[in-house]
Structure 1
Amino acid sequence: MGRDLHPHRWRCLVRSGRAEPAPNREKLRKSAAMRTGALSRTDSLPRTLDPLPDETLPGFLLRLSHRLELTPARVIARTMAGPGGIRHACRSSHELMVALPASVHDRFAAASRLGADEVDALTLGSLSARFPIPATRLPRHGSQTIRNAWWLFTNGTRYCPVCLAGDTSEAQRTHGGAWRRTWRLPIVFACLEHRVLLRHLCPGCHRPAHGNRADGERVPLVAGSRIPGLHPAQCRWIPIDRERRTITDCGARLDSTPPGPFLGEGSLALQRKLFHALESTGTLDSAGIRTESLRYLVDLRLLTHLVAASWPRARHLLPLTEYADALDAALIHADAPGPTGRRKAEWKPLDPAVGAGLLATADRILSSTDCADARRMIRDLLPPSASRARRSGWGEHFIESLNDCSPGLSRAVLPLMRRFSREPRRTTYRRAATLRTGFGPEHVPQWLSDEVFQRHFGQFDGISPYRLRRFAPVRLIQMAFGGSLGDAAHYLGIPTEISPSNVRLFHGASIIRSWSLQRDNPDEFDQAVAALAGELDGQPHIDYRRRRLAMQGWSIQPIDWAEIVTTYRCRSALLADRHRAVASAIVWAQVTSGNRRFAPPLLAFRAGRKLRDPERKVDLDGAIDHERLVPALDTLARNLIAHIDAVL
């Protein structure tokens, strides 16, 4: 039915026509004050209703207003407005659907003659122990801003036409069935009682049920709360005729829509599982590890967002192929990445077919037998590099939700996000340690012996053994004591200033990380490092740092080197400083268990020669007559070790 609009009200609705003169504001203020005084009484209503099972607050207000023959706005004003309550009944926020502030709660209970438990059961917050619903509070000035992080439907709802029609009781024949709370949850896409997919659009105007003109910016508690005479099951969408400057409500009956075809057993089984997770406080498997039902639902929320953001790459994981077309139509075009290349991490489609497809795909990942299997499926949906995966919209959202998700999903995803940091991102940043050890950083050798390396890292292929051998101690320091690669290199005595050696170290970390991500188990390298840490824990601890400090300015003196060359009848050419520096590096490496290329005698010799590349490749073993000098250099190294370790 059409109604002419007052010019001021038209301007508020359409937000146009600013050229029209504003009405007398003092008169409007007095009029509003009179209306507030008349509508803010907290006396009990003359008649009320018993809440239906699983009924939501907006649905109860619609049925109650229909019985009292008042608009929902007047009922809200009579039951919630007043000191400490809401200020404008027609602008009541959707946040009241989640939880009522204490003052509003008590006022509403008294006016509607309901018990406190009955009022709580009307809000979505009563499900917070079983469903990831964050706490909320009524914002100042009736703010109606949508919280995008909420996994709820606030700008519309799903519904079952048969359930909405009600049963044969007098109250439901007159005022209709319940608008259910669970229809506001994205995990509910089907009616198990009638074995059909829920609906979300009005058959008349094809707009979302209980939708509004807010477009996600301003969401009222009840759509069209000022419209009189509508049945609770009628559509409340208000299209505006901008030419005639009138508004007309749709008014189509949602409970007379023919139900859709019966669902297959796969869809019904998934819905039963989700209802069991919602209604149970027990445990179930998530990514191969038993966890609480609430954490499983958090996992489900995270993975539905990942599937939506990565579609159609996740199409091959969809177990219920009847929803593939709906997902293609909704995701490939409607939610294409924006200029930043990101899709919204918190994406919750109102269309039940789209929701069912996302939930089925996410549940398939979580139903994996172990973390490695789930990781393989998730890896295909993320960017190839760990840094890009972490910086993606979904990656940031996952890190924020890390404390709430299950151990299984955490173990599956974190290896795909973790990177070897080059330097701290800010002065207060420090990467957390992931190992508990009984040794200190000074007890980690800079270079692994042949036996140790083969025992822990000899099985790896597809990567340079030298690169692994060089990086493993650095990674061990980082895992055991936290910090960045620069911190770990400093602990190990590796030069930390900008140099070709450090550039190669950081570049090698990136190569190893990329290589790890391509393996069936991206954690395999870190697991080998952890095994190495366990071996070091079970051995006597050697202070390699003290040895490095003691050997910092040491080198074989020319006179001692000449005596060694003469004693072992080596070529006189070995008397050159280059060969003495190489021999000193060999001894230094034996004493400190360090990398010969970082030996101070060799670095000092190279710096003195002003070579363009201070780390150019030199055949350290072939630079001297190594076979003849082995006994002498070994004896010298043993004597130095005994002397250094004996000094307290």
Structure 2
Amino acid sequence: MLADNADTYLPTLVDLAPGEALDAYLERVADANYLATARLIEMVRAGHDTTTAYLMLAPTSVTLERIARLTGAETAALQNATLAAFDGTSLDLRGLDPAHQSSFRTISARGWIPGHGTQICPACLADDGIWRTTWRLPTTTVCRTHGTYLLATCPGCQRPFRDQRHSPLRVVGPQTVCGNPLGQGPRKQCRVDLTTLTAEPADDGCLQRQARQDATEAGGTVATFAGGLDAPEFTATLRSLTALVLHLAAASRTPDNLPCWARDVADASTPSVRRWSIRPPQDPVLRSRALTAADRILVAEDIDTAAARFGHWLQHVPDVPEGRLGWLADHTRMTSTLTRLVMAAHAPRRRLSHLLDQQPPLTDSTRQIPQVLPARLIDEHLGGLFDSRPATIGLFASLCLARTHPHIHSWADAARELGLSPEVGERTARAGSASMTASPAAVVAALGAASRELEIDYRDLEDRVRHLARTTRWFTRWARANRPGSRSSSHSYAVQWLWLEAAQSHLASAPTTGDPWRYRKFARSLTIAQTRALAEIVLRVTHQPEEHR
């Protein structure tokens, strides 16, 4: 017979499985020692002023020590079998005192705190019967092992799994049946076999998002548009942005423009009642897809891409007296990262990015887009829309034209497509957007008019100039016929002129370099006849390449 003081190990010791929840572990301990689960809880509490009210959320040190004496497990391992293991990463449990119920209300007000019950993966329970601690986290929505969404509600009793109100352990012990009390007497429990339930296959995006979240919960950092964020900042921002996305879906007056899952929120939600920042959706599938939508925005490679993705949601902000920014701030908790995203999405260049991303391609191919739009087209179509230098306007206009193509999602992508560095693209986007004096719609209309005059394959022109940069005979012939006395060192300046003026390309990508002052002097010295003869050389390269070798 077991001693009531239980200061020694129980007769049968049970190993704590990796990732196993503490309450489920204790059920296995009780079963192995032929104890009722209620009796084991009595032994944990016996003779000590302790409580098991928050066993899975934040057990007291006394409780952990008592369990360690009974089971032989290390107190640190027992602590890691509770949600306290995620304090400071996925959860914020600061201030929780199990002896004072009011402290739980305080941390609950922070939002997304697990309450009663847990989610499950039926296939995992069928494999090993182990209940995972991570199933209780609101940010855990899929089982990566089986590639399915988790389940949150028992189809038999229509309640969360392990919804134990008066005891942390189930009467049914380690059995893989639901075991929820039915309120029809102490021995009436839901007998649904959880291993027979079917879970829905998870989307690839949700699986990838869960992998990032799992890495975050292990204490890693996540690469976002704002740089690497540590676990607390990333998770807090992800939850806040998810809540905002859900509110936007619920408030939308144009649900046809929403993803399919968000239309369900718009149809079923009452925006004035739901408080998504406090309590997320109970349905793991809906919660997972909302989290994935927010995650996709956060992990964008730059602020432009993130703001453009968020811009698709901003169109659903309702017209309210406090304005769009006021409505957004009222419907979530604004972290520093989320504030940056919201403000960026309202900037003119973000709205321009959104319009460009929605615009059909303005050219048949990006090969028809020069690195720098010709000055003539800038004067005819873009004059008065910017207060920058023409060269900056021309480069920014070309990047904008590239942004209309469906495979280009950021200014960095646009720059790479045109043969420029991503840094040039991002820097020019900032300068060009800041100098806009017209509305984004007017700029897009002007770009459309200018694009209709672009018919040349500029990538081909660039290749021809690169070929001329590798040869010199053509320059000797041109100089002898058009500019006697030119030095051989002027070859590089002639190539630069062809690169900038004939191929309409950017100096940063030129195939030759030279003194900028000397180049400007060379360019100013050219006559109209000399420039015409120089430009004609580029056209002859394709047809008679052997002549210039």
TM-score by length of 2: 0.54
Q: Which residue does 1:355 correspond to in 2?
A: 287
Partner letter of residue 292 of structure 1? D
In structure 1, C-alpha distance between the alignment counterparts of 2:341 and 2:321, rounded to whole Å? 13
Q: Which residue does 1:158 correspond to in 2?
A: 119
Q: 1:344 to 1:298 in 2, by over 3 A?
A: closer
The Cα shift of 1:413 comes to 2.7
- Quick check: 1:66–1:231 contact (8 Å CA) kept in 2? yes
- Quick check: 1:99–1:136 contact (8 Å CA) kept in 2? no
After the TM superposition, which residues 258-273 of structure 1 pair with which residues of structure 2 at under 5 Å, given as runs? 259-273=198-212
Deviations 1:533-570 (A, max 9, x none): xxxxxxxxxxxxxxxxxxxxxxxxxxxxxxxxxxxxxx
The Cα shift of 1:153 comes to 3.0
Q: 1:178 to 1:413 in 2, by over 3 A?
A: same
Q: 1:308 to 1:292 in 2, by over 3 A?
A: same
Which of the numbers 185, 189, 194 marks the counterpart of 1:249? 189
After the TM superposition, which residues 42-121 of structure 1 pair with which residues of structure 2 at under 5 Å, given as runs? 42-86=7-51, 92-93=52-53, 95-121=54-80
In structure 2, C-alpha distance between the alignment counterparts of 1:353 and 1:222, rounded to whole Å? 27
Q: Which residue does 1:411 correspond to in 2?
A: 340
Partner letter of residue 315 of structure 2? D
In structure 2, C-alpha distance between the alignment counterparts of 1:136 and 1:61, rounded to whole Å? 26
Partner letter of residue 270 of structure 2? A
SS of 1:303 mapped into structure 2: helix
SS of 2:228 mapped into structure 1: strand
In structure 2, C-alpha distance between the alignment counterparts of 1:353 and 1:119, rounded to whole Å? 30
Q: Which residue does 2:179 correspond to in 1?
A: 236
Q: 1:318 to 1:157 in 2, by over 3 A?
A: farther
After the TM superposition, which residues 298-377 of structure 1 pair with which residues of structure 2 at under 5 Å, given as runs? 298-312=236-250, 321=260, 324=261, 328-329=263-264, 332-333=267-268, 335-338=269-272, 343-368=275-300, 369-370=302-303, 372-373=307-308, 376-377=311-312
- Of the structure 1 ranges 266-275 and 179-188, higher mean CA displacement relative to structure 2 is found in 266-275
Among all aligned residue pairs of Structure 1 and Structure 2, give the percentage whose two residues are the same amino acid: 24
Deviations 1:17-63 (A, max 9, x none): xxxxxxxxxxxxxxxxxxxxx96755433333111111112221222
Q: Which residue does 2:168 correspond to in 1?
A: 222
Q: Which residue does 1:206 correspond to in 2?
A: 158
The Cα shift of 1:104 comes to 2.2
Aligned residues: 349
- Quick check: 2:28–2:173 contact (8 Å CA) kept in 1? no
Which of the numbers 83, 87, 98 marks the counterpart of 1:124? 83
- Quick check: 2:307–2:344 contact (8 Å CA) kept in 1? no
SS of 1:290 mapped into structure 2: strand
Deviations 1:601-633 (A, max 9, x none): xxxxxxxxxxxxxxxxxxxxxxxxxxxxxxxxx
- Quick check: 1:210–1:236 contact (8 Å CA) kept in 2? yes
The Cα shift of 1:458 comes to 9.6
Q: Which residue does 2:141 correspond to in 1?
A: 189
Deviations 1:104-149 (A, max 9, x none): 2222222222112211211112123432332243343667966243
The Cα shift of 1:230 comes to 4.4
In structure 1, C-alpha distance between the alignment counterparts of 2:317 and 2:47, rounded to whole Å? 51
SS of 1:294 mapped into structure 2: helix
Q: 1:234 to 1:393 in 2, by over 3 A?
A: farther
Question: What are the ranges of 5 or more consecutive residues in structure 2 without an aligned counterpart?
Answer: 348-384, 389-428, 438-549
Q: 1:165 to 1:54 in 2, by over 3 A?
A: same
Q: Which residue does 1:453 correspond to in 2?
A: none
In structure 2, C-alpha distance between the alignment counterparts of 1:273 and 1:316, rounded to whole Å? 30
Partner letter of residue 339 of structure 2? S
In structure 2, C-alpha distance between the alignment counterparts of 1:71 and 1:159, rounded to whole Å? 24
In structure 2, C-alpha distance between the alignment counterparts of 1:58 and 1:132, rounded to whole Å? 19
Q: Which residue does 1:582 correspond to in 2?
A: none
Question: What are the ranges of 5 or more consecutive residues in structure 1 without an aligned counterpart?
Answer: 1-37, 87-91, 168-176, 213-218, 419-456, 461-519, 529-648
- Quick check: 2:148–2:202 contact (8 Å CA) kept in 1? yes
In structure 1, C-alpha distance between the alignment counterparts of 2:33 and 2:121, rounded to whole Å? 25
In structure 2, C-alpha distance between the alignment counterparts of 1:264 and 1:416, rounded to whole Å? 27
- Quick check: 1:159–1:179 contact (8 Å CA) kept in 2? yes
Which of the numbers 282, 286, 290 marks the counterpart of 2:228? 290
Partner letter of residue 177 of structure 2? Q
After the TM superposition, which residues 589-604 of structure 1 pair with which residues of structure 2 at under 5 Å, given as runs? none
- Quick check: 2:243–2:277 contact (8 Å CA) kept in 1? yes
SS of 1:166 mapped into structure 2: helix
In structure 1, C-alpha distance between the alignment counterparts of 2:32 and 2:103, rounded to whole Å? 28
- Quick check: 2:30–2:173 contact (8 Å CA) kept in 1? no
- Quick check: 2:118–2:152 contact (8 Å CA) kept in 1? yes
Q: Which residue does 1:18 correspond to in 2?
A: none
In structure 2, C-alpha distance between the alignment counterparts of 1:316 and 1:360, rounded to whole Å? 20
Of the two, which has the highest radius of gyration? 1
Partner letter of residue 310 of structure 1? L
RMSD after superposition:
3.9
Partner letter of residue 345 of structure 1? S
SS of 2:73 mapped into structure 1: coil
In structure 2, C-alpha distance between the alignment counterparts of 1:413 and 1:130, rounded to whole Å? 24
